Amino acid sequence: MRILTIDTSAVASAAVLSFDPADAVRTQKVEANFATEDTRSHAEVLAPGVKSLLGDPVTEGPALDAIIVGTGPGPFTGLRSGIAMARTLAFTWGVPLYGLMSLDALAQQVFDTPRYDAGRAVAPLAVREFVVATDARRKEVYWARYSAGAQLLDGPHVGPASAVTGVQVFGAGAGLYAAELGANGCEVDPGFADVQPSALQLGRAAVRRIAAAGSLEGAGLLDTTPLYLRESDAKVPGPRKRAL
């Protein structure tokens, strides 16, 4: 199976992964991957970035089994650029399209990362329920709560970091508000304090779901409705007032 993943909930990113659903752990291969560090130029860099992953988009696009796009939560402009591109490519190539919450990708990355002691993996990074948080700007975070096995328990939400209490917190949102979270009894892992969702991790989370279900259709993937969690700042202007 071969999938293209796109995520623009934070940075602009895309990846191509291939795997055998019957043995996804050992057969998973990252064919190509790109991600920017800039969180404000998605529209300019995404199309060239996706094109760079495919030697011949005309033939390699139809060779995909699915396109999976991160549905956020994320800022309006950046998030919609990734979803719009995914929808366009899926329609043009005739490839099935699915969505996956971007915070799930970050949670999967936490689950996959061990804790080391003296250079040796000794335990999972998250040993109990945990929260992943990303920067929502306006002094707020996007966040969701997960079990130690990276199963979604609550969320997604947007709000001040002070709303999160008494758990391990991972992600760039945790790094930005480490002091506030620490005052609330939270533990912020310094190694995960600047990590953003990416298409590569989105793909790895999708691979695990597909492998567990044995098919794309049963993997519990979403449609591509974006999770903005806020209304757009852009408003339709009201009618002109009549001059007296």
Please check whether residue 243 lies inside any domain of the structure.
no
Question: Of 1-5, 113-117, 129-133, 224-228, where does mean pLDDT reach its minimum?
Answer: 113-117
Please check whether residue 228 lies inside any domain of the structure.
no
**Among the three residues 192, 221, 236, which one is the final residue of a domain in this structure?**
192
Closest by Cα among 8, 64, 9 to 31: 64
- Residue 226: is its pLDDT beyond 70? yes
Q: Are residues 94 and 206 in the same domain?
A: yes
The CA distance from 202 to 38, in Å, is 18
Q: Residue 185 maps to which CATH number?
A: 3.30.420.40
Mean pLDDT, residues 127-150: 95
Q: Model confidence at 119, in pLDDT bands (50, 70, 90)?
A: confident
Q: Are residues 67 and 126 in the same domain?
A: no
Q: Are residues 90 and 6 in the same domain?
A: yes
Q: Are residues 46 and 156 in the same domain?
A: no
**CA geometry: angle at 141 spanning 140 and 147, to 5°?**
150
Q: Are residues 14 and 120 in the same domain?
A: no
Q: Are residues 63 and 149 in the same domain?
A: no
Question: Of 63-67, 123-127, 136-140, 145-149, where does mean pLDDT reach its minimum?
Answer: 123-127
- Residue 233: is its pLDDT beyond 60? no
pLDDT tens-digit series, residues 20-67: 999 998 999 999 999 987 666 667 789 899 999 998 988 999 999 999
Q: Model confidence at 88, in pLDDT bands (50, 70, 90)?
A: very high
Q: In this predicted structure, what is the pLDDT of residue 238?
A: 58
Please check whether residue 151 lies inside any domain of the structure.
yes
Q: In this predicted structure, what is the pLDDT of residue 127?
A: 81
Q: Are residues 94 and 11 in the same domain?
A: yes
Please check whether residue 236 lies inside any domain of the structure.
no
List the structure tokens of 220: 């519990």
Across-strand partners of 100? Answer: 70
Please check whether residue 229 lies inside any domain of the structure.
no
Q: Are residues 183 and 201 in the same domain?
A: no
Please check whether residue 221 lies inside any domain of the structure.
no
Structure-model confidence comparison of residues 144 and 117, the more confident one: 144
Tokens 């050992």 locate to 26
pLDDT tens-digit series, residues 169-221: 999 999 999 999 999 999 999 999 999 999 999 999 999 999 999 989 888 99
Q: Are residues 169 and 201 in the same domain?
A: no
Q: Are residues 23 and 93 in the same domain?
A: yes
Please check whether residue 172 lies inside any domain of the structure.
yes
Q: Contact, 44 vs 229, CB < 8 A? A: no
Q: How far is CA 66 from CA 33, 138, 194, 229, in A?
A: 16, 35, 30, 26
- What order of strands is seen across the sheet that includes strand 187-188? 152-159, 140-146, 130-137, 168-170, 187-188
Q: Which amino acid is at 235?
A: K
The CA distance from 44 to 13, in Å, is 12
Q: Contact, 120 vs 137, CB < 8 A? A: no
- Residue 118: is its pLDDT beyond 70? yes
- Counting the structural domains of the chain, the total is 2
Q: Contact, 174 vs 133, CB < 8 A? A: yes
User: Which residues form the domain of 167?
Assistant: 115-192
Structure-model confidence comparison of residues 103 and 123, the more confident one: 103
